[in-house]
Structure 1
């Protein structure tokens, strides 16, 4: 039986192939794709909802919170114009919120 002898000329392409696959996999796992955005948007939505619900000075009925790429859209009904502005202000304090579209209406 003959043994294959490892020489630098044989070893270099083999290592390049193995490491290239590993490094390529690392690069792909670091990319943020659409799935990452959905998770982040869901987290932002939950944070905004919790922040508004937790603010004792705000009374919002039928609160709708929709987030896309960090842009939050608020919908629902409030009792005063001050509450419209306050809800948007509270939403802006949540980490990850890039901007707020305020579609809250007076009831």
Structure 2
């Protein structure tokens, strides 16, 4: 009986999400926009991981409405600028905010 109620509750929640276009971010971003931003974040992080200059583990990437925000600590100005360049040239990125600090 409990399982039936849980399944019905999940189905009702899914129906509400599909009908209303439920927002998933603090600024009422749509599900589609959230997925697009997550994809951009993943693309930028993948480019960081492949680049020999950028330390992907020391830098953070967040995306909101196509704007990528970079943060964290770089070992050099070259690493900071390379990270920004990689993010800017990633397909789908509208703009980049570079808050990376050089140590």
TM-score grouping bracket, smaller chain normalisation = 0.5 to 0.7
Tell me if 1:52 matches 2:48: yes
Could you tell me how far 1:52 is from its partner in structure 2? 1.1
Q: Tell me the residue number matched to 1:62.
A: 58
Q: Which deviates further from its counterpart, 65-74 or 49-58? A: 49-58
Mark the runs of 5 or more structure 1 residues left unpaired by the alignment.
Answer: 1-32
Please tell me whether the aligned partners of residues 60 and 77 of structure 1 are also in contact (alpha carbons under 8 angstroms). Answer: no
- Find runs of 4+ consecutive structure 1 residues off by over 4 angstroms: none
Matched with 1:80 is 76
Deviation sequence 1:59-102 (CA, Å, 0-9, x none): 35432111000000001111111111111000112111000000
Structure 2 residue matching 1:56: 3-state secondary structure: coil
Cα deviations by residue, 1:6-59 (Å, 9 ceiling, x for unpaired):
xxxxxxxxxxxxxxxxxxxxxxxxxxx711100000000000011011101223
- Mark the structure with the bigger radius of gyration: 1
- Structural RMSD (CA): 1.4
The runs of 5 or more residues in structure 2 that have no matched partner are 1-28
TM-score (structure 1 length as normaliser): 0.65
